[in-house]
Amino acid sequence: MTNHTPQWDGIVVGASLATLDAASGYGEIVDAALAWRDGLLTYVGPRAGLPGAPSALARQVIEADGWITPALVDCHTHLVFAGDRAREFEQRLQGATYEEIARAGGGIVSSVRATRAADEDELLRQSLPRARALVADGATTLEIKSGYGLDLDSERKMLRVARRIGQQLGIDVRCTYLAAHALPPEFKDRADDYIEAVCQWLPQLHAEGLVDAVDAFCEGIGFSPAQTRRVFEAARALGVPVKLHADQLSDLGGAALTAEFGGLSADHVEYTSVEGVRAMAARGTVAVLLPGAFHVLRETRLPPLDAFREHGVAMAIATDCNPGTSPLLSMRQAMQLACTHFRLTPEEALRGATVHAARALGLADRGVLRNGLRADFVHWQVGHPAELCYWLGGRLAQAVYAAGQRISGQGRP
């Protein structure tokens, strides 16, 4: 007897696909079909190539128009925090610099005070809406950093909230330990002692399953290259990958230091030298561009984009969602800003928000529409993928899927 049980959990037919499954171009397939089972893609191709009628192949058949792309990956966020820093935004517009605000007790330290004061449930309550906004605009993988706690219990609280966000929203959250973000008040003038504490806390939090990567802020108002190296060595001893806030305000060689440790990514990179670019290229370190912070801080120093292209350094894009310098709640807006400020093409921006962003998190199972990869995809109400970078605001995501499960959407595709 022939078994007519459908072999796939679901299939979308009729929309065009931007698979990104090639070295260049969108990888377009028109009048396409996209099928999945057990959270993985099982068919990516033209509808005409299906081995039978969609209704005989899948339990759920969705007729669609528009475009489907890989789901977006936000590979650099600080979205777990309490309070906000709207007043500092006003101060910057009145002429205060980022450094002046930080040295006067504002900046990161002001978010530390509010985050420490919030219990875990309150911190989750304040942070969930930000994550939901990112998901609604197409992101199904988020990196969330600690770094507004700056003591063991508060850093643990932040990382626990990040894990809970992933569980509640049905998305993949990668947790990054960023205790080396700023010097807390209780360690004033004792930066080396604080770095020692950061290195001691790391094994405890890693043993609790709360750390997927380690980051630091290597800058004049942050930590020195030597102090950053100590943090990286502690991470390497545990086999934890590293990434770095590198060369944002000056060139301290942060990108090259990250590459020396085989780091996943160097982020910001406005002041990265050609030598740093070459080091990143040699080790496969991704450059994460953060146009939200560039925009809010009204920066003028562009990252070395031509050098990244020349040396084959992959360029990812992320929101840098944070309360002070990038209160950005849309990966699509980050893509638009990257096109406007950094002159990326819409294709480069889409790749930067998908396949390259996944690589910046060490993830090879997403970011492209290909058989065997995660069924993370977005159905967009657009006539061409370039529209994702063209529209300023608005709601274009018709349906967002993570591992084959619809987690956000406006209506039936």
Polymer length in residues for the chain: 413
Q: Indicate whether 411 pLDDT > 70.
A: no
Residue numbers in the known binding site for 4-imidazolone-5-propanoate are 85, 148, 181, 248, 325
Residue numbers in the known binding site for Zn(2+) are 76, 78, 245, 320
C-alpha 75/C-alpha 73 separation (Å) is: 6
Residue numbers in the known binding site for N-formimidoyl-L-glutamate are 148, 322, 324
Enter the pTM of the model. 0.95
Task: Kindly list the structural domains of the chain, giving each domain's residue range(s) and its CATH number in brackets, ordered by start.
Answer: 8-70+367-409 (2.30.40.10), 72-361 (3.20.20.140)
Q: Is 252 helix (H, G, I), strand (E, B) or coil?
A: coil
Mean pLDDT calculated for residue range 346-366: 98
Mean pLDDT calculated for residue range 140-167: 98
Residue numbers in the known binding site for Fe(3+) are 76, 78, 245, 320
For 216-270, the pLDDT digits (tens) are 999 999 999 999 999 999 999 999 999 999 999 999 999 999 999 999 999 999 9
Distance (Å) of CA 281 to CA 25, 75, 251: 22, 19, 17
Nearest to 180 by CA among 246, 135, 84: 246
Q: Say if residues 188 and 152 touch (Cβ distance below 8 Å).
A: no
C-alpha 401/C-alpha 39 separation (Å) is: 10
Mean pLDDT calculated for residue range 332-359: 98
Q: Say if residues 266 and 245 touch (Cβ distance below 8 Å).
A: no
Tokens of 117: 């004061």
The pLDDT mean for the chain works out to: 95
Percent of the chain having pLDDT more than 70? 98
For 264-323, the pLDDT digits (tens) are 999 999 999 999 999 999 999 999 999 999 999 899 999 999 999 999 999 999 999 999
Strands 377-380 and 315-317, sheet pairing: unpaired
Q: Say if residues 39 and 31 touch (Cβ distance below 8 Å).
A: no
* pLDDT score for 243: 98
Q: Indicate whether 60 pLDDT > 90.
A: yes
Q: How confident is the model at residue 4 (pLDDT cuts 50, 70, 90)?
A: low
C-alpha 136/C-alpha 129 separation (Å) is: 10
Residue numbers in the known binding site are 76, 78, 85, 148, 181, 245, 248, 320, 322, 324-325
